[in-house]
């Protein structure tokens, strides 16, 4: 017998004989699930990722706020996040607030949202796995840049990030399957490589679409708790946002990469809204 707690499974090499083939994770990863956070990361330093934001969502039943997702500041007045982070069919702006410039969850000084724009091709029925898992939030007022708050560049159309490119993902999500980030819940960071499209398709099958990319390595990547956060890579000595945390393997198994919305794919849509907004 293998007396291993379930939350440790993500650390195992799948060929370990003690699994006895009883966990068929290699042949069928399942449909995957959304809301992902950081595995095998470590505490981020203050001001290192100044574009990281937290999305606080209100529970309409008990009127309590909770940190529901991550996001990124991409403009003084605009936040990029995952479409599945936006609750409800007809979301209300007062249901969401945005936390800026904080390493730990903090609702008190969060800012109000003026507009919510989910991508028109996002499907509420298929959720993240259906693709187009991006949304924009317009803040009520532009934010002032500081050492702790700054927007991230979007990737130039000419940019390319080949497999193996070392990038970083950040968030407040679970650190393992069914294992929440412990207090004081400091923002986590982890370095992940871009994964070849063919490998990603081989592991997840036809769920992988042109508007998605994969990143992650053995024992490092994403799990439940912080969709919408940024995957950032260096391009000509500047940080740019390459992906939006979207979905992944149901049990956060270590050999399955995280799946991200491919920011470059959505550039025309993002820039169209930012530049045309009154």
Same domain, 124 and 170: no
Same domain, 157 and 258: yes
Same domain, 142 and 259: no
18 is a domain residue: no
Same domain, 101 and 230: no
Cis peptide before 184 (omega within 30 of 0): yes
Same domain, 253 and 198: yes
Predicted local distance difference test score (pLDDT) of residue 218: 67
Same domain, 95 and 132: yes
Predicted local distance difference test score (pLDDT) of residue 10: 30
Kindly report, residue by residue over 96-135, the tens digit of the pLDDT.
999 999 999 999 889 999 999 999 999 999 999 999 999 9
Same domain, 179 and 225: yes
**Residue 141: Cβ within 10 Å count:** 11
Quote the CA–CA distance of 204 and 208 in Å, as a whole number: 7
Predicted local distance difference test score (pLDDT) of residue 21: 28
As averages over each run of 10 residues, the pLDDT of the chain (278 residues) reads 31 27 30 58 95 95 94 98 95 96 93 98 96 98 97 95 96 85 93 95 95 86 80 97 92 82 98 86
In the residue annotation, 106 being an active-site residue is answered as: no
Same domain, 118 and 207: no
Kindly report, residue by residue over 245-277, the tens digit of the pLDDT.
999 887 776 678 999 999 999 999 999 999 986
CATH number, domain with residue 37: 2.40.10.10
- Residues 57, 96: contact at Cβ < 8 Å? yes
> 110, 133, 211, 246: which is the annotated catalytic residue?
133
In the residue annotation, 133 being an active-site residue is answered as: yes
Which of 278, 240, 269, 257 lies closest to 74 in space, CA to CA?
240
Burial class (CB within 10 angstroms; exposed 0-12, middle 13-18, buried 19+) of 268: exposed
Rounded to 10 degrees, the C-alpha dihedral 74/76/81/86 comes to: -160
Give every CB contact of residue 61 below 8 A, 6+ residues apart in sequence.
none
Predicted local distance difference test score (pLDDT) of residue 29: 34
Same domain, 244 and 181: yes
**What is the secondary structure of 218-254 as a DSSP string?**
TTBEEEET-TTPEEEEEETTEEEEEEEEEEE-TT--T
Predicted local distance difference test score (pLDDT) of residue 224: 65
Domain total of the chain: 2
> 110, 119, 211, 227: which is the annotated catalytic residue?
227
**Residue 106: Cβ within 10 Å count:** 15
Predicted local distance difference test score (pLDDT) of residue 278: 64
107 is a domain residue: yes
20 is a domain residue: no
Same domain, 135 and 271: yes
Same domain, 159 and 196: yes
> 84, 174, 226, 246: which is the annotated catalytic residue?
84
Give every CB contact of residue 236 below 8 A, 6+ residues apart in sequence.
none
Q: Which domain does 115 fall in, by range? A: 52-149+267-276
- Residues 132, 209: contact at Cβ < 8 Å? no
Same domain, 253 and 204: yes
In the residue annotation, 246 being an active-site residue is answered as: no
């Amino acid at each position: 017998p293998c007396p291993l707690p379930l939350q440790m499974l993500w650390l195992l090499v799948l060929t370990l004989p003690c699994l006895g083939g009883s966990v068929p994770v290699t042949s069928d990863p399942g449909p995957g699930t959304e809301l992902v956070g950081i595995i095998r990361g470590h505490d981020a330093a203050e001001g290192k990722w100044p574009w990281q934001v937290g999305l606080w969502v209100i529970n309409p039943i008990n009127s309590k706020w909770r940190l529901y997702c991550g996001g990124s500041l991409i403009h003084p007045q605009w936040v990029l996040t995952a479409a599945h982070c936006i609750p409800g069919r007809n979301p209300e702006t007062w249901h969401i607030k945005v936390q800026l410039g904080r390493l730990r969850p903090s609702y008190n000084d969060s800012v109000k949202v003026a507009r919510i724009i989910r991508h028109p091709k996002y499907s509420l029925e298929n959720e993240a796995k259906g693709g187009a898992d991006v949304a924009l939030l317009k803040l009520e007022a532009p934010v002032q840049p500081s050492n702790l708050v700054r927007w991230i560049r979007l990737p130039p159309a000419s940019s390319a990030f080949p497999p193996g490119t070392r990038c970083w993902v950040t968030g407040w999500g679970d650190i393992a399957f069914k294992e929440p980030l412990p207090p004081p819940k400091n923002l986590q960071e982890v370095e992940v490589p871009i994964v070849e499209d063919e490998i990603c398709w081989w592991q997840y099958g036809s769920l992988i679409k042109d508007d998605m990319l994969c990143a992650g390595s053995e024992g490092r990547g994403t799990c439940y708790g912080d969709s919408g956060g940024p995957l950032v890579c260096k391009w000509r000595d500047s940080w740019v946002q390459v992906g939006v945390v979207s979905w992944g393997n149901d049990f956060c198994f270590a050999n399955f990469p995280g799946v991200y919305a491919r920011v470059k794919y959505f550039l025309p849509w993002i820039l169209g809204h930012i530049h045309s907004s009154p």
